Amino acid sequence: MPVDISIRKPPIEPLHCDLLRQAGVSVNVLRLDKCHPQLAGNKWYKLKYNLLEFQQQPDFPILSFGGAYSNHLYALAAAGKLLGMRTIGVVRGEMPEPLNPVLAFAREQGMTLLPVSRGDYRRKQEPGFLEGLRARFGDFHLLPEGGSNSLAIKGCEEIASLLKWHKAGSKQLVALCCGTGTTMAGLIKGLSKIESESAPEVLGISVLKGDGYLQAEILGQLHASGCIDPIVWRVDDAHHCGGYARSNSVLQSFLDEFAGFSNLPLEPVYTGKLFYALFDLIEKGVISAGTEVVAIHSGGIHS
């Protein structure tokens, strides 16, 4: 049974500014945020094969987890509505009324929202906690937090085929922001399967505080999925601006400056940190002249 959702092929748009011209670096943006009004960004690719599997038993609801501003729960609620499948969102922490825009949208799409304490939320993978949820809701399809699993990696492999390059012989770099590492693992695996004389390097910008954490996570995901000879890749841990959903004055100043020369929508949790990191690395010469960059706009946080 196909996933009956119409997805638009995302465009690639050039980014122009004085810094890029002076540095001799070209940046083109893969606009995954334009692939669907509600399932935009990397979320569609992470959900696609999970939804195909869940459709084999459409009477069971899909249960997953997320914070109060989870774009994963937002996308899952929209997908459930479009496919006529029930969804349940287990929300970390308090859920005060009125609901924020993300949770309000999820409820409007028919998602059942269950707030749990942060302590209980940390137990989300324990059999006893899951049995309690089954006692409450009956049997359900379980989707990990962020939709991150092997089927999500399979979906994110397809992003590799969307990349386009304009300068033959240039150094090619793909950059994206990383929260769980699943999208990056899928992208690396997908690029590793494409026969080419020179594969692009992949640079992930961690939005989390924790040196080496995402590097190890992605390496583990690659090995678990059978990708033992990947292309060149690395994770940058230096531009998280304080950690997940944290910001600072440097990031805010960059976002204000960026808005002065581009209408590309950025937010401070994910995509803002990606472009802040890219511009910082270009300005410092870490990304050298002659490099062609494709930056993946993965959608960011809804507000």
**pLDDT tens figures, 244-271:** 889 999 999 999 999 999 999 999 999 9
Whole-number pLDDT of residue 276: 98
Whole-number pLDDT of residue 95: 87
Whole-number pLDDT of residue 222: 96
CATH of span 61-139: 3.40.50.1100
Amino acid at 95: M
Chosen CATH of 12-36+151-297 out of 3.40.1380.10, 2.160.10.10, 3.40.50.261, 3.40.50.1100: 3.40.50.1100
Positions of E strands within the chain: 12-15, 26-31, 62-66, 87-92, 112-116, 141-142, 171-178, 201-206, 233-236, 291-297
Contact 197, 45 (CB under 8 A): no
Domain ranges of the chain: 12-36+151-297, 61-139
Whole-number pLDDT of residue 167: 83
DSSP 77: H
Does residue 249 sit in helix, strand or coil?
Answer: helix
Inter-CA distances, 2 with 49, 57, 77, 83, 184, Å = 10, 13, 18, 10, 25
Distance CA 54, CA 59 (A): 9
Omega into 98 within 30° of 0, i.e. cis? Answer: yes
Q: How many CA atoms lie within 13 A of 252 on its CB side?
A: 6
Structure tokens belonging to residue 111: 């998602």
Which residues does the chain have with pLDDT short of 50?
none
Inter-CA distances, 258 with 238, 239, 263, 273, Å = 20, 16, 8, 12
